[in-house]
Chains A and B, each alone.
Chain A
Amino acid sequence: MQTAKEIISFQDVAKNYRGGNDAVENINITINEGEFVCLIGTSGSGKTTTMRMINRMIEPSRGKIIFKGKNLKTFDPVKLRRTIGYVIQNNGLMPHMTIKDNITLVPKLLKWSQDKMDRKATELIKLADLPESYLERYPAELSGGQQQRIGVVRALAADQDIILMDEPFGALDPITRDDLQDLVKHLQEELGKTIIFVTHDMDEALKLATHIVIMDSGHIIQDDTPDNILQHPASDFVKELLGEERLLQAQQNTLSVSDIMSKNPAKITLGQSLAEAIREMSLKHVDTLLVTDDNNKLKGFIDLETINDRYSKYSNVSDIYQPNRFKVKTTSYLRDTSERILKQGYKYVPVIDNDNNLIGIVTRASLVNIIYDAIWGSEELDNPEGIKLPDSIAKESDNA
């Protein structure tokens, strides 16, 4: 994606329908080859208007659009549209044409040979994952989901490399929608198609897009990767669109260990005695101490059980400490760490920096709140204290 070629770019584009206010304004978007761009926003925010300017179904009132290196205006609209796939919500299949004729509609306009069209139809019905016998059927003889599969593959019939889709799955039930989302993702990922996709469903956008353009009343509010939008929503509008639950989840996914670790773990140095170790344990109400050398390099740990067993024979920490089986760097993602703690039963994990200096600890207890918030966070009733990340965790882990 980083090295990808620019294929469409909007430059200060505005559209003014006769007599009205600007439907869209200051539109600047750059779309690279192979991207999956989702235009998302509330109804009337200008998504369709923006999308339809790409195949010249709507002409900009101001500004210009560069398409494959040339001003879009230099392309003949009809010829242009035959090179750009087009999928709309209610599939737009011609009821009086068989599935085969529907699929090969554009190739026919381009006067392909019958033989070539037949081969294309067979190829695409397979891509749509429908039996070949369906080619002879009429659209009315297919289910809504099957019709839209045809609607999607029809957009590739003339080997179009760009596909415009305007809320294509809005009318489908969730399971069918999921299947079709997989299909269009496949087109982008495996077949390298560039897809411009209008939706008002944030889940859909986050699932599919490599690049999300958020629109509100004719303006672009934010234009970025899904991750960046989740991490840095540009405004309250975006936050609202994302929803609290998704923001929390995103936070967990990208919180690093240092965000939630306790910075003063109970510890003891190699040179100290076991008596000192026990005193430290009782003082901090813990049964385990991390062991470091005099330079604060992590060496291992020592626990109450071992001390109890061997107290009669040994007197120094250095005699009976054990090395740590598992430790993490400060920069590690919390999601990986939490999985190891929870699944493998560690009670805690020491946190070190790149030079093996002990700088903190993540305990099982400190994970509880994070998990709690991720799972139940949206249900305010179950969360009477209004626990928020990351403050609550910092508090909790400082007590650990």
Chain B
Amino acid sequence: MITFLNQHGSELIIKTWEQIYISAFAIILGIIVAVPLGILLTRYDKTAKYVMSITGMLQTIPSLALLALMIPIFGIGKVPAIVALFIYSLLPILRNTYIGMKKVNKNLLDAARGLGMTTMQSIFKVEIPMSMPIIMSGIRLSTVYVISWSTLASYIGAGGLGDFIFNGLNLYNPSLIIGGTIPVTILAILADYLLGIFEKKVTPKTKRSEV
């Protein structure tokens, strides 16, 4: 452990940073696209079905294959990796946003409209706050997936902690494999934990002494 850190300490920090960078980029892109799209889809139920099944299909492409497919389009490096991971992050966020919005009590929507809220006011003051826990759990799920899959990104030259793991595999060096795996696991757990705190913050209270 100590020797591993002595040997690879600075590299570890750089690779961890790369991993965070790639994952965060993919996730943030995913949120930016999937949340509004999910909300939009709640207004177009028929289109929603198609979009959901397309993103569902994309999800079933094996991750390595998807990464490989990126190479002819984007070459190698971080960009194709981010694009591929972004595609993976879409479905859970999109689906949860759509379902979360759809599950909001119809009575509340009726009241919101009947009291004179515009569609936008209903979305921002009622539907999004009410579906926040479900949207957030989609984001957490995506984040954990993307962080662990981003190790595969090293395969197409995107860097990250996957470099340790693949090197370890090539050189039959278990300490490299473990040295790459543990930080990935910690990253995933940490990200989930931080998002959990964030979720509580953005989920509106429904009782005085909650949280």
A140 touches B206 (CB 8 A): yes
A317 and B205 CA atoms in complex are apart in Å by 90
B111 touches A137 (CB 8 A): no
Task: Please tell me if B75 contacts chain A, counting CB pairs below 8 Å.
Answer: no
Q: Mark the stretch among A88-96, A211-219, A306-314 that contacts chain B.
A: A88-96
Within 8 A of B (CB), among A118-161: 136-141, 154
Interface string of B187-211 (1 = CB under 8 A from A): 0000000000000000011111000
Task: Please tell me if B2 contacts chain A, counting CB pairs below 8 Å.
Answer: no
Give every chain A residue within 8 A of B130 (Cβ-Cβ).
95-96
Give every chain B residue within 8 A of A139 (Cβ-Cβ).
206
B118 touches A81 (CB 8 A): no
Within 8 A of A (CB), among B160-211: 204-208
B208 touches A88 (CB 8 A): no
Closest 9 CB pairs of A and B: A92-B111, A96-B204, A82-B116, A86-B114, A81-B116, A95-B206, A90-B107, A92-B107, A138-B206
B115 touches A141 (CB 8 A): no
B208 touches A138 (CB 8 A): yes
Task: Please tell me if A105 contacts chain B, counting CB pairs below 8 Å.
Answer: yes
B116 touches A88 (CB 8 A): no
How many positions in chain A have a CB within 8 Å of any CB in the partner chain? 29
Supply 19 A–B pairs (Cβ within 8 Å), ascending by A: A57-B114, A78-B117, A81-B116, A86-B114, A92-B107, A92-B111, A92-B114, A94-B108, A94-B126, A95-B108, A97-B204, A105-B115, A109-B115, A109-B116, A109-B117, A136-B208, A138-B207, A138-B208, A140-B207
A92 touches B110 (CB 8 A): yes
A88 and B108 CA atoms in complex are apart in Å by 10
A55 and B115 CA atoms in complex are apart in Å by 9
- A308 shortest CB reach to chain B, Å: 78
Give every chain A residue within 8 A of B205 (Cβ-Cβ).
96, 138
Interface string of B108-152 (1 = CB under 8 A from A): 101111111110010001100110000000000000000000000
Give every chain A residue within 8 A of B208 (Cβ-Cβ).
136-138, 141
A87 and B106 CA atoms in complex are apart in Å by 14
- Which of B107, B113, B114, B208 is packed against the most chain A CB atoms within 10 Å? B114
Within 8 A of B (CB), among A367-384: none
A106 and B115 CA atoms in complex are apart in Å by 6
- B58 shortest CB reach to chain A, Å: 34
Give every chain A residue within 8 A of B110 (Cβ-Cβ).
88, 92
